[in-house]
Amino acid sequence: MLFLYNTLTKQKEEFVSLNPGKVGMYSCGPTVYGYVHIGNVRTYLLSDLTRRYLEYLGYEVRLIKNITDVGHLTEDDVAQGDSGEDKIEKAAAREKKTPEEIARFYESYFKQVEKELNILPAQYFPRATAHVPQMIKIIEALVEKGFAYEKNGNVFFDVTKFEDYGKLSGNTLENLKVGARLEEHPDKKNPWDFALWLKAPAEHLMQWRSPWSTGYPGWHIECSAMSTEYLGSTLDIHTGGEDNIFPHHEAEIAQTECFTGKQFVRFWLHTRHLLADGKKMSKSKGNLYTLEDIKEKGFSAMDLRLFFLSSHYRSQMEFSWPALEQAHKNLQKINDFVLNLEALTASENSSLETFDVAIYREKFEAALDDDLNTPLALSNLYELISQVNSEITSDKLSSQSAKVILTLWKKINSVLGFTLLGQAEIPEEIKRLIEQREIARSGKDFKKSDDLRALIEKKGFILEDTKDGMKIKAVGRL
């Protein structure tokens, strides 16, 4: 039985989907105005892990991940969606590109990062700019029902009309009143009302016609429009980072439940932040690392994947190079384990000892069933590896057992999601370095050739010059 911690109820609850066998899941995707950093990756990995484990359990999962290419303002984390500049327009001005060019560029970068991390692609990545009519439809209904109001071409959600406001974050109106005061937009009735539609100043590049003004949608409304468009009124699971809980997800609940009259999300899952130097890794704090930074230091995307899975998604996690180094070593251990098993299956070792794999499968499932406890699942896997290694050393593991263990490994890995050795293509960069080394060798520049070999090794590939020519082997890559 799968138990997931639900931010809404603040406890672990048994997960049962609304429709038998099928799960509707939505993940807040990137705002495409800059390079995705590895903090973001931690959050995308949570939805990948959840989806993979649900599929392991036999569910058919429909995962929708939006692309925010309009409407997310620079002050959205501290204000209510009505102040600051549009993040994408600001990047467009900085990079002297159109907002569309900016959005497409960073969207494709994000997809490349997900691919390298072996994050399975969502079934659909809807873009906010392609769903403005759906947003307008919801806003119109909210105005008509009296949950939202218009003034001077701007439309706001009236938080006092939704009595459950604050149920996700604990930021009820009572609590908010004693908290910090917000800078008030002149057209708002209450400081905590949030923007659904804003009238665009003439210089604003992205504008759409609406019944209220030529303008643009607020950030929160896009997720309500796109999630319900593709998943219906009630979602089984909605994921995001902990910073999304308030105001973003609180606002999503308010506007969607007032629109549909139904429960919006059954299970809310949030990742705790990835920290760097003790602070949340973020674009604004400038303490971020991208996948490129990780690779430049000789680590692979799979090392990073293992680094993340080594910590529970609801624990804060501090980024550090020694921790990544440890992940790299553990990945090598797993790599060797799989290679050894493969070699054994090809041999004809017919030891009579049988290996009890069932216990390891049960342990794996028990760990994942307990709110996706990947650190526990990994420590069980390392236990399995130790047992296998010692049986191989004493020549007790039969080819048949090796086959059975490999089958279990494949099943486990359908959830952990490491790219298997052999399946991993040699990256272009490595191919280029190998070519350069060949040129250096044929020109008898052995110093350069050795330096290049060392560099290739640092990037995780070993070159072996054999009598049959050069062979290349990935180190620590699964």
Under the rule (CB under 5 A), what is the footprint of Zn ion? 28, 223
Task: Please tell me whether residue 240 binds ligand AMP under the rule CB under 6 A.
Answer: yes
| Residue 171 binds ligand AMP, judged by CB under 6 A | no
Beta bridge partners of 208: 215
- Residue 273 contacts which entry, Zn ion, ligand AMP, none (Cβ below 5-8 A, type-dependent): ligand AMP
| Residue among 307, 212, 238, 185 at smallest CA distance from 23 | 238
Do 159 and 254 touch, CB atoms closer than 8 A?
yes
Interaction of residue 220 with ligand AMP, rule CB under 6 A: no
Residue 243 engages ligand AMP in binding (rule: CB under 6 A): yes
Please name the residues in contact with 439: beta carbons below 8 A apart, sequence gap of 6 or more: none
In the complex, the smallest distance separating the C-beta of residue 119 from ligand AMP, rounded to whole angstroms, is 13
Size of the site for ligand AMP (CB under 6 A): 17
Q: Of the ranges 165-173, 185-193, 238-246, 468-476, which one interacts with ligand AMP (CB under 6 A)? A: 238-246
Closest contact distance (angstroms) between CB of 59 and Zn ion is: 23
The answer to whether 28 contacts ligand AMP (rule: CB under 6 A) is yes
According to CB under 6 A, which one of 50, 118, 154, 244 is a site residue for ligand AMP? 244
* Residue spans of alpha helices (H) in 12-86: 38-56
Q: Tokens at residue 184, please? A: 């008030």
Parallel/antiparallel/unpaired status of strands 60-65 and 22-27: parallel
Contact 448, 433 (CB under 8 A): no
Q: Which two tokens stand for residue 21?
A: 């066998």
Among residues 2, 17, 25, 30, which is the contact residue for ligand AMP, using CB under 6 A? 30
Min dist CB 148 to ligand AMP, Å, is 24
Residue 471: Cβ within 10 Å count: 10
Choose from ligand AMP, Zn ion, none: what does 223 bind? Cβ within 5-8 Å by kind. Zn ion
Query: Which option in Zn ion, ligand AMP, none does residue 255 bind, with CB closer than 5 to 8 A by kind?
Result: none
| Nearest distance from C-beta of residue 182 to ligand AMP, angstroms | 20
243 binds, among Zn ion, ligand AMP, none (CB under 5 to 8 A by kind): ligand AMP
In the bound state, the residue with its beta carbon closest to ligand AMP is 241
CA distances from 189 to 7, 59, 151, 364 (A): 29, 45, 10, 53
H helices then E strands: how many in the chain?
15, 15
Query: Which of 39, 217, 218, 247 touches ligand AMP by CB under 6 A?
Result: 39
At 279, phi and psi to the nearest 5? -120, 155
CA–CA separation, 15 vs 8, rounded Å? 14
Which secondary structure element, helix H or strand E, spans residue 339, and what is its range?
A: helix 321-346
Out of 7, 17, 43, 118, the only residue in the binding site for ligand AMP (CB under 6 A) is 43
Phi and psi, residue 13, nearest 5°: -125, 150
Could you tell me the CA-to-CA distances from 178 to 64, 161, 166, 172, 209 in Å, in that order? 37, 19, 14, 10, 38
The least distance separating Zn ion from the CB of residue 44, rounded to whole angstroms, comes to: 13
Per-residue interface string for the shown chain with ligand AMP, residues 276-315, x marking contact by CB under 6 A: ----xxx---------------------------------
241 binds ligand AMP (CB under 6 A): yes
Q: Which residue type sits at 192?
A: W
Binding site for ligand AMP (CB under 6 A): 28, 30-31, 39-40, 42-43, 240-241, 243-244, 271, 273-274, 280-282
